[in-house]
Amino acid sequence: MIAIDHEAQSYFRRLIEQQGEDTLGVRLAVAHAGTPRADCKLEFCEPDDLRGDEWVVECEGFRIYVDAASAPYLDDAEIALVKQATGSQLTIRAPSIKGRAPGGDASLIERVRHLLDAEVNPQLASHGGRVALEGIDAEGGVILRFGGGCHGCGMVDATLRGGIEKTLRERFPEITAVHDATDHASGTNPYVRR
C-alpha cells in the first residue's frame, strides 16, 4: 500500500526520539481527498488519539497510522527523504490523492466536472477564480457559473471561449455549446475590471 524508504523512516524515528515519547506514532491523512486541493497531513499521535479504524504501517521502531477514509487515496503512495544541495526534504508521492478520472462509462456530468476540477480550476485559481458546472441541458449545452476573481472579470469571455469551451468540446464531442450563467455585474472582486 505505502512504501517508505529507509531514509524517511530514519528521519521519522529521529523526530519521535526527540519528543521523548515511547508510544508516539505518526498519523497520515489526506485533506480534501479526491479534489484538486488534496494534500497530505502528517502529525504525531499517541494511542489515545487514535479512533481504532486506522490502517497501521509497521516501520523500524515506530508506526504510521493511516486515516481509514484516506487509505484509498494513498494507495501506491511513496514517502521518501530526498537529499538536495540545500538539504533534505520529505516528499510524499500519492498518485491517487486527487482521485481518479471517471471511466468512459461515467456520465457526461461526472466527466465534465472532473475535467473542470482537475484541469481548469487549478489554472483559474492562480487568478483567484473558479468555475462550477451548473448542469448540461438536453441539447448538450454545458452551463457554467464563475466565482472568485472570474466573477465580473473583463477577460472572462476570452477565458470561456478560448480556453474552457475549446477544451470541453475537444474532449467531449457530444457537447454542443458552453453557456455562462454568471451575473458578472454583481462581481465584487474581479481579477481584471471591465
* Number of domains comprising the chain: 2
HSE-CB at 1 with a 13 A cutoff on CA atoms is 13
The pTM for the full model equals 0.60
CB 88 within 8 A of CB 79: no
Q: Look at residues 93, 118, 145 and tell me which one is the last residue of a structural domain.
A: 93
Q: Look at residues 64, 93, 122 and tell me which one is the last residue of a structural domain.
A: 93
* Domain shared by 25 and 74, yes or no: yes
**Domain assignment of residue 160, given as a range:** 108-186
What CA–CA distance (Å, rounded) separates 12 from 6? 10
What CATH number is given to the structural domain containing 58? 2.60.300.12
* Domain shared by 115 and 170, yes or no: yes
Q: How far is CA 157 from the centre of its chain?
A: 27
Q: Look at residues 63, 93, 123 and tell me which one is the last residue of a structural domain.
A: 93
Encode pLDDT of 12-49 as tens digits.
Answer: 999 999 998 878 999 999 998 887 788 999 999 999 99
* Domain shared by 155 and 120, yes or no: yes
The mean pLDDT value for 72-81 works out to 93
Encode pLDDT of 158-183 as tens digits.
Answer: 999 999 999 999 999 999 999 999 99
Here the cell at position 41 is 497531513
What CA–CA distance (Å, rounded) separates 97 from 35? 8
* Domain shared by 86 and 154, yes or no: no
CB 98 within 8 A of CB 35: yes
Select from 189, 72, 175, 87 the least CA-distant residue to 130: 189
* Domain shared by 24 and 76, yes or no: yes
